[in-house]
Amino acid sequence: MSEPFQRVPGGIAVDLPSQLRHWLAESAKEASDDAVTMESPVHRRLLGPIDPSQDHDDPIVELQRQFSVEGSLGVFIATADAELLSEEEAEEWIRAFQLMLAAAAARFAIVDEDDVARLDEEQTAIVTTLQAGISLLIEALEA
């Protein structure tokens, strides 16, 4: 069985089942939508103020962060079916997986290790799948 991510001439080869790619793309869309929904815990986690003593970031900082989140998730959604990623796209996949992971953690109200321990089977599978993807992508990029 081949590696899901492998360094090859020209970039990072991706070998993921289509069902998993579809699920990841849907997760990315969900994270992107929730990030801009003010009352969502995902919005607070991904776009809460960087200075907790303030209610809002500086508007320029706010825009930079929103573009960054939308950009990484957008690149992932656009390339979810790709069989070969450039280095830059692979880096965006790591960012996107991390954003999806943080979004899932916010939805599951994970604050500490005890919260991770009480996750149900499906929630645990979501967290561990995303963590595995990040770990394997890092390995491939650093190979």
Partner 1 sequence: MSQADFEISPESGTSQAVAVPWEVILWNDPVSLISLVVRVLKKVFHYDQAKAERLTMQVHNEGKSVVWTGDKEQAAAYCVALHGYALNATIQQAQ
Q: Return residues touching partner 1 (CB under 8 A).
A: 45-46, 50-53, 58, 61, 64-65, 68-69, 72, 94-95, 98-99, 101-102, 104-105, 110-113, 115-116, 127, 131, 134-135, 138, 142
* DSSP secondary structure letters along 90-135: HHHHHHHHHHHHHHHHHHTT--SHHHHHT--HHHHHHHHHHHHHHH
**Contact (CB, 8 A) for 101 and 42:** no
Complex with partner 1: residue 83 or 119, whichever CB lies closer = 119
Task: Give me the amino acid identity at 125.
Answer: A
Q: CB of residue 77 vs partner 1: minimum separation in angstroms?
A: 16
Q: CB of residue 86 vs partner 1: minimum separation in angstroms?
A: 17
| Dihedrals phi, psi of 14, to nearest 5 degrees | -115, 125
Q: CB of residue 18 vs partner 1: minimum separation in angstroms?
A: 26
